[in-house]
Structure 1
Amino acid sequence: MVRLVFLIAIFLSSTIQAAPLRIGVTDSILSLPLHVAKAEGFFVKRGVDVELVRCVFGHRCITNMLDGQTELSIAAELPAVLISFTRNDFSILTSFVSVSSDVKVVSLRSAKITEPSKLKGKTLGYVKGSVSQYVLDLVLVYSGIDPATVNLRAIQPENALAAIANREVDALCLWEPFVSRIQSNLGAQVQLVPIPKLYTETFNLMATHAVIKSKPKQLERIVLALKDSTNFIQANPDGAKALAVKHLNIPFSLINGIFDDYRYRLSLNRSLMRTMEGQARWALREGHVNRALPQPDFAGLVYPNILKAIDPGAVSLQ
């Protein structure tokens, strides 16, 4: 009996001392699998203690991770590409969602921007170092507009509504749910500019190399929980929408209107690598990073071992 009590005490002591793994997450529908995994108990089911730490957008999530505020983060691939020019101590473990219409252009109706070609000469807001900046540049180039003929203004996503409401910008290139919230708040004062689908965005789970080395089993359990979560979303879209409303503070009407645009599944494939390589060339060409820096080796920015062990068919990097 004494031995049993002693063993229980040791177990409880180790459990109390083990800190949860912190993951930086956004309040975007792109982050839904993390919030579902937490709400539905998939992390607990897989035997890993996780704390979700809110951050406004992916670039901040990554920088918070690299600053030691979290062990993992989620973000689109672009901020990872930009940071990888100067840091190579983190890797993508898996993508868990893809979408071609998350980033939109919303304009003041009074600016009369009814098509992309009418962006010329306007003041355009974007979030520096994010997919907002990348998509806006793609749209301008595709529309034959020299970026020098527009007035580009960097904003923070949390200030986007005020920027357009106060007419500091004529239009904004931004992601959901910020765009739909602007539409909800400003109503007929704004309109969506129909832009071509030039880019498929992924949201990805990332960890520092130190965490990958020291906590491989915990990371495997987190990825397993994400697999449970994406399976849940696919099989139970109504339940997933309800969880999004509750945990992301996004109205059901907004979620219902955009939900089918997102493809939730775990993957690491060659298209991710091609996208990152193209983004790196864009960043160098446009001077968004120091042109003297060499292009990163993106094979090192992806760590496929965990996903390959869980779901070999989800990995196709060659």
Structure 2
Amino acid sequence: MNLTLPICAVFLLLMSACQPNSNGMGDWKKSPIIKIAVSNTPLSSPIFIADKKGFFKQHGLNIQLVREDGGVKCFNELMAGNVDFATTSESVVMFNSFYRSDFIVLASFVESDNDVKLLSMSSQKFNDLAAIAGAKVGIVKSSASEFFFDSLLMLYHQQDAQIQRVYLKPTQMVHALQKGEVDLISAWEPFPYQLAEESPQASQVIGTKGLYNLSFNLVGLKNNRIDTQNKQSILQALSDAINFINENPEDSQLLISEILDIDKIQLSYLWRDYAFRLSLSNALVSNLQLQSQWAIDRSLVPKDNRIDIRQILDRELFESAMNEHTDEHK
């Protein structure tokens, strides 16, 4: 009896079964290139890990990361049509919600209650906020930097203090403070750590851990070229990356220190304040609403343009992606 044909047929069937599916590793090169503007901060770790560890590829995605300094620049790149998605803080989302409603928040992927700090080169002069009158303060306009600073002023009843706001780019903050161009800076990590390393005499004006909860989010345009399945796959890849981060913190820190060229000791110092989780919660809505009211009260935005924040959160996409991901892992 000739068994050659049946054996070949069985072999071909087995080979076919072993091939990746349409969303598998083998098809990522055939997928359209999807560009994500990523802020050069450890807060973006899930994006970097998903890329470095191949989680995007495992979900059939052909991702190209476009690295930028700060969430404001990332968001601007998205609005200019240069990228498909961007990472940014909730403050940037809030400010832009007053001027446009053509973007969505797909998910938050990390939170920190100690990422933004108020710093000075003179601990004697600015040992508390009571001495802030007349000071020049370096701030990144329309960002977490500005909301954090104003929150401190309100908390310590200094909102009427006469100060000079000096709007700077994130990368200009440390240099401006060191050169005496400003008296204080409201800056996010890793710039406070950089300042401490270069200028040991610099210090935090007050302890601010727990005063402000910053989140980093993935945002995109509502009607872009990326279909729903690919959007869901991006969220699923980020979920895998976050699981990896939480299960392998040391390996994750080593990867991020190499990617961002940050000293491992510095990164460990920052890492302890990060809570990596994929969410789209009511806490984010409340935070955005609080910041919206602050921006209106300070006349930073046109109050008549205020929208329902829930309109720019894509809960249906998020829940669908997570439910599908859970089913796949049962």
TM-score, normalized by length of structure 2? Answer: 0.86
Cα distance in 2 for residues equivalent to 1:151 and 1:195: 22
Which secondary structure state, in structure 1, belongs to the residue aligned with residue 310 of structure 2?
coil
1:310: how far off? 3.1
Match of 1:210, SS state, is coil
Q: Give the direction of change, closer, same or farther, for the CA distance of 1:17–1:44 in structure 2 (3 Å limit).
A: closer
Within the alignment, does 1:191 sit opposite 2:213 as a pair?
Answer: no
TM-score by length of 1: 0.89
Query: Structure 1 segments of 4 or more deviating over 6 A?
Result: 14-17
Q: Equivalent of 2:307, from 296, 299, 317?
A: 296
Q: In the alignment, is the contact (CA less than 8 A) between 2:28 and 2:62 conserved in 1?
A: no
Alignment equivalent of 1:89, drawn from 102, 107, 119? 102
What SS does the aligned partner of 2:307 have? coil
Q: What's the offset of the Cα at 1:306?
A: 2.5
1:5 equivalent in structure 2: none
> In structure 1, what is the equivalent of residue 183 of structure 2?
170
Q: CA deviation at 1:162?
A: 1.5
| Residue 248 (structure 2) aligns with | 236
Match of 1:33 in 2: 46
Give the 3 Å change call, closer, same or farther, for CA 274–215 of structure 1 in structure 2. Answer: same
Q: Which is further off, 164-173 or 110-119? A: 110-119
Residues 273/313 of structure 1: CA separation in 2 closer, same or farther (3 Å cut): farther
Question: 2:129·2:205 contact (CA, 8 Å) conserved in 1?
Answer: yes
Q: State the alpha-carbon separation in 2 of the partners of residues 16 and 229 from structure 1.
A: 20
Aligned position for 1:308: 319
Q: CA RMSD in A?
A: 2.1
Percent identical: 27
Deviation (angstroms), 1:120:
3.0
Residue matched to 1:247: 259
What amino acid is the match of 1:244?
Answer: I
Q: Which has the larger radius of gyration?
A: 2
1:118-167 deviation digits (Å, cap 9, x = unpaired): 33332211110100000000101111113442222111111112201110
**How far 1:295 sits from its partner (Å)?**
1.2
Deviation at 1:16, TM superposition (A): 6.8
CA distance in 2, matches of 1:86, 1:125: 25
Residues 48-92 of structure 1 show CA distances to partners (whole Å, capped at 9, x for unaligned) of 110110111111111110110000011111111111111101100
Give the Cα separation in 1 of the matches to 2:150 and 2:324.
34
What is the DSSP-based 3-state SS (H/G/I as helix, E as strand, rest coil) of the residue aligned with 1:114? coil
CA drift of 1:19 comes to: 3.5
Does the 8 Å contact 1:116/1:195 carry over to 2? no
Task: Note if contact 1:21-1:71 (Cα within 8 Å) is conserved in structure 2.
Answer: yes
- Partners of 1:179 and 1:94 lie apart in 2 by 27
Cα pair 1:139 1:195 within 8 Å, conserved: no
Change (3 A) 1:17 1:45: closer
Alignment equivalent of 1:129, drawn from 142, 145, 154: 142
Partner SS for 1:272: helix
